A and B are shown apart, each in its own frame.
Chain A
Amino acid sequence: MTLADQPLLILAAISVSGLCSLVGLHLILRRQAMYADALSHSVLPGLVVAFMLSESLGPVPLLIGAFVAGLFTSLLTQSLKDRASLREDTSLGIVFSGLFALGVLMLGLFASRVHLDASCVLFGELAFLPLENHVSVLGLELPQPLVLLLGTFAVVATICLVFHRALVASAFHEEMARAMGLPVRFLHHLTLTLAAAAIIACFESVGAILVIGLLVIPPSFGLLMSSSFRGILLWAWALGVVTSVAGVPLAFAWNTPISGMLVAVAFVIFSLTFGVKWVWENRK
């Protein structure tokens, strides 16, 4: 990677964290943060199957495969919870690790036919972004993953805006939302679907495990700083921008993976803020 790529990479990092903050906030309000963890692992078998069927690394089959796997996760978890009377955390843990195991197994068994590296899926690497195919959008030459990312961002943001009231109402007070006639179950699955979409759009650039950090840490930071939905989101985005602007050059300087650096920077800022705020509120 060269220094000239830095602005592009910072831009990509900002869009990743912008998308993730929005979706992550909805997840956190529903107390489903660990769903991000589960989804980010369970999409693996979907990716492998899609890759084997389509024999290519084109984004569309991979997206479909990951999406189906994500849907599978939430439905399987729900049915295991309802039909086997296991608690939600246990069923989620079983389902996602089972799917992940299946994915790793397939990778191992069909390694010769699948040029998909599990650790590549898990870790991702933003630095490869400038090397990807470029497509021209509105007269600008942009790497394909970045276009995918921005497209997903636009769609997800539109859905979040349209369903804003319903999503927030059902997240804060499920019973009341149900009494108001809102489709609570649909909204729950909609949130998880948006999370799946965000994870899939980002896994190529950030990797599956660290995308959780970008989903959860900025909105949690926002929650420390503000109490209104808009305020939380703006603070989350602010952290995303700061993280990107600081993280990308730091990763260049130390020659580390960008995704790990982004999450580490966000984590450190969150922890410090948390500590300061905790001491401040308990001073006497």
Chain B
Amino acid sequence: MDYVLSSILSCALVGLFSGFMGNFLVVRRMSLMGDVLGHAILPGIVVGFIAAGFKQDSWTLFLGALGSGLLAGFSFEAFSGRLKVKADAAMAIVLTGFFGLGTIGLAVLPRLGSGTHAGLDRFLMGEAAAISQDDIALLVGLLSLSIALIVLFYKEIRLTCFDPDFAKVAGLRPGIFSLLLSLLISATVVVSVQATGVVLASALLIVPAATASFLSKSLLGRLGWGALFGALAGALGAGLSSEIDHMPTGPAIILSAIALLVLTLLFAPERGWISRGLRRRQQKLRHENEDFLKAIYMEGERQPEGHLTLAARIREGWVGTKPYETILARALKNGWVLLRADALELSEVGREIALQVVRNHRIWELYLVRKLDFALDHVHEDAEEVEHILTPEIVRIIEASLGSALHDPHGRVIPSLSDLKRFEVPGY
């Protein structure tokens, strides 16, 4: 097979596996555990190297690394939360302690056997070209095994991740599944270290998984997105590093993954910054519109003609200000208000919106005073906020709980359900 194509494919596979498994770290708030495992496998690699007779054999190295990763996982569990050692300190202790032992091993190695440890360095920095056919076979085997285990125990694993206390109460033995996940994650780190290097293997676990968290809330959805983004980042990074001279593979993969994260952060349909910004703006416009229509309605309550004269608008200090003029233009365009001579009058639609808001406001005030014993002068500000948020259904329930709701605490009439025409207001 073409050399470049095969390195792209193998990196995509590594990314897919990491992005898939990383979700279990991110969901369990253990994102930094990947970094701990990545460093902690170093002594295992040295031991595996010795065990294989000072050769690099995929399977022996893999088993050595896996053993050391598991031992690190156990040490973390043993330290964490006991004798005043907190989780963060336990992670740092295990990471650096194992790594220190590993560097000693690397230094002693050349004197133990005839061989050199040339090539073991790739575990620190990573190189896509270092992935052999054996590694690929290992990877595919592990991936299928992980997926099979996760499909088999999906319910138990999901519960262990999201609510370990409940899992325990339900008799699920979350410890076993947590251990199973640690085992699979160690295996993932061991495999991906070869492509990306120690430090960046943990990044490949969490960056695609974090990206996935913006696109789906369910574990299944996150697993899928994580795998997709991981694979994309792997392929992209490997491609870039083969195109550009001196571009190391690991960083290229991680920076691709981060680029995908940033794009998702911006453009994700619901949780993305752009769509959230748009939503916030829409909400602000809606609040402005409703406050404006409400003001006209309340002027109508005070004055029998029922409209806001130019004199009143000047008195309020509105005329000529930019926010007022834009709100007025919007209300006129939408047909919510009519300009008769110099007086502003609510149209039928505008009156409907205003009625709803006023009704929300006054029922909420009454509820706060009558049910929650708020002081009379403390309820207005709260109602100003809530009036835009309450839905007709909630207001009806509150109204029913109040018994009679004809006047608000300040003695003003509460618009009743029968005052509303109850037609759908366009744009709402």
Binding site for B on A (CB under 8 A): 28, 31-34, 36-37, 41, 83-87, 89-90, 92-94, 97-98, 100-102, 104-105, 107-109, 111, 118-119, 122-123, 209-210, 212-213, 215-217, 220, 223-224, 254-257, 259-264, 266-268, 270-271, 274, 277-278, 281
Contacts and interface: CB of A to CB of B under 8 A. Distances in A.
A5 B96 CA distance: 26
Nearest to B244: A109
Given A104-B125, A261-B104, A267-B100, 11 more contacts: A31-B86, A31-B87, A37-B95, A94-B203, A97-B35, A101-B200, A101-B203, A220-B85, A260-B100, A260-B101, A263-B99
Interface in B190-207: 197, 199-200, 202-203, 206-207
Contacts of A260: 99-104, 107
Nearest 8 A-B pairs (CB), nearest first? A267-B97, A97-B203, A263-B100, A213-B96, A260-B103, A101-B251, A105-B251, A101-B254
B265 interface: yes
B83 A224 contact: yes
A122 B100 CA distance: 12
A215 B102 CA distance: 19
A105 B124 contact: no
Given A101-B251, A281-B83, A264 B121 contact: no
A90 B210 contact: yes
Contacts of A119: 121, 124-125
6 contacts: A31-B86, A37-B32, A83-B273, A94-B203, A261-B100, A267-B98
Given A105-B255, A260-B107, A277-B83, A92 B246 contact: no
B14 to A, nearest CB: 15
B88 A108 contact: no
B150 interface: no
B209 to A, nearest CB: 8
Contacts of A224: 83-85
Nearest to B211: A94
Contacts of A108: 246-248, 251
B251 A104 contact: yes
A217 B213 CA distance: 34
Interface string B76-98: 00110011111111011101111
A85 B272 CA distance: 11
Interface stretch (B23-31, B324-332, B343-351): B23-31
Contacts of B124: 119, 122
A97 B200 contact: yes
Interface residues of B, number: 62
A94 B88 contact: no
B39 interface: yes
Given A101-B203, A104-B251, A223-B84, A94 B210 contact: yes
Contacts of B35: 34, 37, 93, 97
Nearest to B91: A34
A220 B93 contact: yes
A94 B93 contact: no
A87 B213 CA distance: 11
A254 B39 contact: no
Say whether chain A's binding surface is mostly helix, strand, loop, or mixed.
helix
Given A93-B31, A101-B251, A267 B93 contact: yes
Contacts of B265: 84
B258 interface: yes
Interface in B39-96: 39, 75, 78-79, 82-89, 91-93, 95-96
Nearest to A227: B84
B415 interface: no
A271 B93 CA distance: 10
Contact of B32 (A89, A217, A259): A89
Contact of A32 (B29, B30, B88): B88
Given A101-B254, A216-B89, A93 B83 contact: no
Contacts of B214: 84
Given A210-B99, A213-B97, A220-B89, A41 B199 contact: yes
Nearest to B254: A101
A227 B351 CA distance: 69
A108 to B, nearest CB: 4
B97 A263 contact: yes
Contact of A34 (B78, B82, B88, B108): B88
Interface in B2-42: 26, 29-32, 34-35, 39
Contacts of A31: 86-89
Contacts of B139: none
B303 to A, nearest CB: 47
A111 B248 CA distance: 11
Contacts of B86: 28, 31, 33
A209 B108 contact: no
A86 B248 contact: no
Contacts of A90: 26, 31, 206, 210
A255 B199 contact: no
B363 interface: no
Contacts of B93: 33, 213, 216-217, 220, 267, 270
A37 B261 CA distance: 22
Nearest to B85: A220
B29 A217 contact: no
Given A84-B265, A89-B30, A101-B250, A215 B101 contact: no
B248 A105 contact: yes
B252 interface: yes
A92 B91 CA distance: 14
A34 B203 contact: no
Contact of A213 (B78, B100, B107, B254): B100
